[in-house]
């Protein structure tokens, strides 16, 4: 054993010889217990050994094995005859001593009175007296605690084989039904309601009233005894039924005296054939006598002493080896603190700190504090009191044992860390009490350094202390206001002058802003009027362009920009032959009248390339017309007459040739870009064919209203009617359909490069552009008869209706909407940065959306505007850069 102790001392040296006080903080054991562990007089307990080794950084498993080898031949370590900190139960009656006189008096009172209240301070031993004393000697009994739902607790205790839910329903319906159930249970039954204070701390008001009524009316059917903490005595008086039932039926439980305590610790061991050294009994009584909760404290430390007994004798050495009352309290305190929810731990720390008076050159002492000072929940205080760490009275709280101040390392560290702040807090608490006692005398408030220190303590103060400090701060602010009042008087004139200057500056700024706004509004009005006039002058493009440019310089409104673009486009209008018959492309087609009005044929002249070189011609009967031209300019389709179509090959535009005459075929609604696929609606279905085919292929679909070939010739896109819905679908040439969208409206279709598709919702005047299943554009207010076209590169889409033209950039650019008064357009197409617009009289307008470029082109010639007529009173700015 001495070698074991010597090895422990060497382990401490290897750890750097920390003090026993520091080891106590790390191990949660008292310094005395740790010092005794290495003295070599006896084998320390396993718990102390493990804590010591862990604090010194040793191998806990190795030292545990060594300890077990030494302890293998030790004394019997059976169950101790003590219950520790727990209350004695009915089954512990054979080891419950010291309260024989109180049990006898209580038995007599219960036999005389049907309803009895047992009152006592927290830790006085009420529960042990009621359970191991009264109930154990009575006979038939029931013991319950109210908890948060007393009806359920009573129902569970009285179910007796029945459903507890049914019993609870019966009790909830009628509190007096408890009397019936108790009478059925047993003759001369004793009902003990322990911890009755939970009725006031945990129960709802309705359950509280129910239990009071049920118990007071049940007295007579059974003997009813309630155990109540003394600080809730006044709560009982608030209920008239309880007040009447407790009249002359009360028992008060006080602390054990020395003789009672001696019997409580000696007799349980004697019943087990063991004994206590007289020195141990004397020491133990001296340590816990007159303390609230003396028996639990003694019982708890005796459990540890029992494990260290020598044969059948509990020795003082074993008691000291267990750490005495101090160690028992420290371990319990640490376990209770660790089990607290995180949000309650800071509150618990403040509670313990407030219950200590820090010593100034002396040791710390415990202090009694009012409950209101702590501002802690009843549940937290009850939990700490149940662990015998605190003792609760009616209005006050204190530490159960001053040994906590020395034996609990966590509390010691709290006090060491905040010692100066705690002293200041104690002084502040006294000052606040004195301030209120003197009728809140302003002269008693803190000032200066004391007030600054109190301000830093604000987060830790209770309501009364905060009121005191805030009153001091308010008084300090008032003094500061008085001090500064003279300074403010001196500065008032300067402030007034500064305010006046600021007001004048603000007035001037407002006037300037208002003038600028009025000028801007006037300029916008003149610009809009001039732009509208310019659109009316499109027949004279130069004058219209000059006026539109002037309007744009005055105010760059959207209307002025549009007028400028249209006027410039009108000035570039060209006309081939008798006018364009189809939208311009790689091959443009114009009307060309025959030799005389009696001619039986009609001629369409071909023009090739951007330079519009004159090429060959296509002739059709007088009653016919050219209807389709493929995007690559290689294939054309003409209507020769009713039911007769002519197919033309334009690959050699200088010598176009007719390749086929189709009789009885439907009129195609479109042709792909290469001129290799045509499609039409026939008898409610969709058909397609290729040039040179002698038959048409019909798709397995009905209700078709529109059909056009895909641009790449791999299929067709069609719209079909199904009830109130129109469905747009893409069909492959082998008859497989892919849905695109469905709308409850008439739909128009235009196929573009790749998988681009424009769908016109005719009824809603809405245009939707898709790339496969992806929506690229949704535009509103597109008229029913608008003609929609894609640019050849697929980057833009256009629409035209009479004098209105729209351009949408599918890459996300800003849209363009134009209206040319007095003009009417048949086709519009966007190519190579220009908007090509074919006017109804056959002229081609080329519109450039680049405003800066248009301005440079207009300014290439002299610009003349009647400025005074269009912009009266306005200074003329430079029109051209």
Q: What is the pLDDT of residue 78?
A: 46
Ramachandran sector of residue 349 (left: φ over 0; alpha: ψ -120 to 50; beta: rest): alpha
Count of beta carbons in the 10 Å neighbourhood of residue 80: 21
CA distances from 191 to 114, 150, 158, 182 (A): 10, 13, 11, 9
What DSSP element (H or E) covers 645? strand 644-649
Instruction: Describe the crossing of helices 448-456 and 463-535 by its angle, rounded to 10 degrees.
Output: 70
32 or 634: which leads in pLDDT? 634
Sort 270 into a burial class: Cβ within 10 Å, 0-12 / 13-18 / 19+. middle
Count of beta carbons in the 10 Å neighbourhood of residue 631: 19
Asked if residue 855 has pLDDT above 50, the reply is: yes
CA-based nearest residue to 441, from 432, 450, 449: 432
Percent of the chain with pLDDT over 70: 94
Q: Collect contacts of 72-75 with beta carbons under 8 A, ≥24 apart.
A: 74/43, 75/309, 75/310, 75/311
Phi, psi angles (nearest 5°) of residue 812: 105, 5
Asked if residue 585 has pLDDT above 50, the reply is: yes
450 or 597: which leads in pLDDT? 450
Q: What is the DSSP string of 745-767?
A: S-EEEEE-STTEEEEEETTTTEE
Asked if residue 75 has pLDDT above 50, the reply is: no
Strand blocks (E) in 415-573: none
Q: What is the pLDDT of residue 72?
A: 45
Q: Give the number of residues written for the chain.
A: 881
Q: What is the pLDDT of residue 363?
A: 66
Q: What is the pLDDT of residues 354-366, one digit of tens each?
A: 888 887 666 677 7
370 or 175: which leads in pLDDT? 175
Structure tokens at 633: 């300019």
CA distance 865 to 867: 5
Most confident of 12-26, 96-110, 143-157, 299-313: 96-110
What DSSP element (H or E) covers 713? none
Quote the mean pLDDT of the chain: 85
Structure tokens at 374: 């702590």
Asked if residue 574 has pLDDT above 50, the reply is: yes
331 or 338: which leads in pLDDT? 338
Q: Are 204 and 155 in contact (CB under 8 A)?
A: no
Give the strand pairing for 190-193 and 141-144: parallel
Split at pLDDT 50, 70, 90, the class of 594 is low
Structure tokens at 220: 């007579």
What is the average pLDDT across 434-455? 86
Question: How open is the CA angle 416-418-420, to the nearest 5 degrees?
Answer: 100
**How much helix, strand and coil, in percent to the nearest 5, is found in the chain?**
45, 25, 35
Q: Are 81 and 215 in contact (CB under 8 A)?
A: no
Q: What is the pLDDT of residue 506?
A: 84
Asked if residue 71 has pLDDT above 60, the reply is: no
Asked if residue 580 has pLDDT above 60, the reply is: yes
Q: What is the pLDDT of residues 620-650, one digit of tens each?
A: 888 788 887 888 888 888 888 888 888 899 8
Asked if residue 383 has pLDDT above 50, the reply is: yes
Q: Which residue has the tokens 């206001």?
A: 481
Instruction: Describe the crossing of helices 851-858 and 558-571 by its angle, rounded to 10 degrees.
Output: 50
Q: What is the pLDDT of residue 863?
A: 84
Q: What is the pLDDT of residue 77?
A: 40
Phi, psi angles (nearest 5°) of residue 357: -100, 105
- Residue ranges of alpha helices (H) inside 186-323 are 198-201, 205-218, 233-237, 240-245, 258-271, 278-288, 294-306, 316-321
**CA 347 and chain centroid, separation:** 28
First-residue to last-residue Cα distance in the chain: 109
Q: What is the pLDDT of residue 732?
A: 92
Split at pLDDT 50, 70, 90, the class of 98 is very high
Q: What is the pLDDT of residue 122?
A: 73
* Range with lowest mean pLDDT among 74-83, 239-248, 397-406: 74-83
Q: What is the pLDDT of residues 116-145, one digit of tens each?
A: 999 988 768 888 999 999 999 998 999 998
């Amino acid at each position: 054993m001495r070698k074991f102790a010597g090895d422990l001392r060497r382990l401490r040296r290897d750890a750097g010889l920390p003090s026993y006080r520091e080891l106590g903080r790390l191990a949660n054991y008292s310094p005395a217990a740790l010092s005794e562990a290495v003295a070599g007089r006896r084998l320390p307990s396993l718990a102390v050994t493990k804590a010591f080794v862990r604090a010194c950084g040793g191998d806990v498993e190795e030292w545990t094995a060594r300890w077990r080898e030494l302890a293998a031949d030790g004394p019997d370590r059976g169950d101790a005859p003590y219950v520790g900190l727990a209350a004695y139960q009915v089954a512990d009656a054979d080891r419950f001593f010291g309260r024989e006189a109180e049990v006898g008096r209580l038995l007599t009172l219960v036999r005389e009175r049907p309803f009895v209240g047992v009152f006592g301070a927290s830790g006085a031993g009420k529960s042990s007296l009621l359970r191991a004393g009264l109930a154990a000697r009575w006979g038939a009994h029931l013991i319950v605690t109210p908890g948060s739902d007393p009806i359920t607790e009573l129902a569970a205790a009285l179910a007796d084989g029945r459903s507890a839910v049914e019993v609870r329903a019966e009790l909830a319906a009628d509190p007096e039904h408890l009397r019936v159930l108790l009478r059925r249970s047993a003759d001369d039954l004793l009902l003990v309601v322990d911890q009755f204070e939970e009725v006031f701390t945990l129960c709802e008001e309705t359950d509280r009233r129910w239990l009071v009524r049920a118990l007071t009316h049940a007295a007579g059917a059974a003997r009813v005894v309630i155990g109540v903490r003394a600080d809730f005595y006044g709560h009982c008086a608030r209920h008239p039924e309880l007040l009447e039932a407790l009249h002359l039926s009360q028992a008060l439980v006080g602390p054990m005296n020395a003789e009672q305590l001696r019997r409580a610790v000696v007799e349980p061991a004697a019943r087990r054939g063991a004994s206590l050294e007289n020195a141990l009994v004397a020491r133990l009584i001296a340590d816990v006598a007159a303390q609230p909760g003396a028996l639990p404290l003694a019982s708890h430390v005796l459990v540890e002493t029992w494990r260290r007994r020598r044969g059948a004798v509990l020795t003082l050495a074993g008691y000291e080896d267990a750490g005495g009352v101090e160690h028992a309290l420290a371990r319990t305190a640490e376990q209770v603190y660790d089990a607290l929810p995180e949000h309650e731990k800071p509150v618990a720390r403040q509670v313990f700190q407030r219950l200590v008076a820090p010593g100034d050159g002396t040791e710390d002492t415990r202090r009694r504090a009012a409950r209101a000072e702590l501002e802690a929940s009843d549940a937290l205080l009850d939990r700490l009191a149940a662990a015998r760490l605190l003792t609760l009275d009616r209005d006050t709280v204190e530490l159960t044992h001053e040994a906590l101040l020395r034996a609990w390392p966590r509390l010691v560290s709290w006090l060491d860390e905040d010692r100066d702040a705690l002293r200041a807090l104690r002084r502040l608490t006294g000052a606040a009490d004195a301030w209120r006692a003197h009728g809140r005398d302003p002269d008693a408030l803190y000032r200066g350094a004391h007030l600054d220190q109190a301000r830093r303590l604000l987060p830790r103060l209770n309501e009364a202390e905060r009121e005191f400090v805030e009153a001091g701060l308010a008084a300090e602010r008032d003094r500061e206001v008085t001090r500064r009042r003279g300074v403010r008087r001196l500065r008032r004139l300067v402030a007034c002058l500064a305010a006046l200057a600021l007001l004048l500056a603000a007035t001037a700024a407002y006037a300037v802003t208002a003038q600028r706004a009025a000028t801007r509004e006037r300029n916008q009005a003149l610009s809009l009027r001039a732009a509208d006039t310019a659109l009316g002058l499109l027949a004279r493009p130069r004058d219209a362009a000059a006026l539109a440019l002037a309007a744009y310089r005055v105010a760059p409104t959207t209307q002025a920009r549009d007028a400028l673009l249209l006027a410039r486009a009108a000035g570039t209008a060209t006309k081939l032959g008798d006018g364009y018959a189809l939208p311009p492309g790689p091959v443009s087609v114009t009307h060309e009248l025959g030799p005389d009005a009696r001619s039986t044929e009609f001629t369409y002249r071909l023009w090739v390339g951007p330079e519009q070189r004159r090429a060959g011609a296509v002739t059709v009967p007088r009653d016919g017309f050219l209807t389709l031209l493929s995007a690559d300019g290689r294939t054309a389709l003409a209507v020769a007459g009713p039911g007769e179509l002519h197919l033309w090959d334009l690959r050699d535009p200088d010598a176009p040739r007719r390749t086929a005459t189709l009789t009885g075929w439907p009129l195609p609604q479109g042709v792909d870009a290469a001129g290799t696929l045509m499609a039409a609606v026939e008898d409610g279905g969709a058909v397609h064919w290729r040039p040179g085919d002698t038959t048409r292929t019909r798709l397995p679909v009905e209700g078709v209203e529109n059909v056009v070939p895909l641009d790449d010739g791999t299929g067709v896109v069609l719209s079909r009617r199904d009830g109130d819905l129109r469905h747009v679908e893409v069909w492959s040439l082998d008859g497989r359909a892919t849905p695109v969208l469905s709308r409850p409206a008439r739909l128009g279709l235009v196929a573009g490069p790749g998988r681009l598709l424009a769908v016109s919702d005719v009824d809603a005047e809405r245009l939707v552009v898709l790339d496969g299943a992806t929506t690229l554009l949704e535009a509103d207010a597109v008229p029913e008869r608008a003609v929609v076209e894609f640019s050849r590169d697929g980057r833009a889409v256009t629409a035209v209706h009479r004098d209105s033209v729209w351009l949408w950039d599918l890459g996300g650019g800003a849209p363009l909407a134009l209206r040319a008064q007095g003009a009417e357009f048949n086709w519009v197409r966007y190519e190579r940065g220009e908007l090509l617009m074919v006017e109804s009289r056959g002229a081609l307008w080329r519109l450039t959306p680049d405003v800066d470029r248009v301005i440079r082109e207009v300014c290439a010639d002299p610009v003349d505007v009647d400025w005074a007529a269009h912009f009266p009173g306005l200074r003329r700015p430079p029109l051209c850069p």
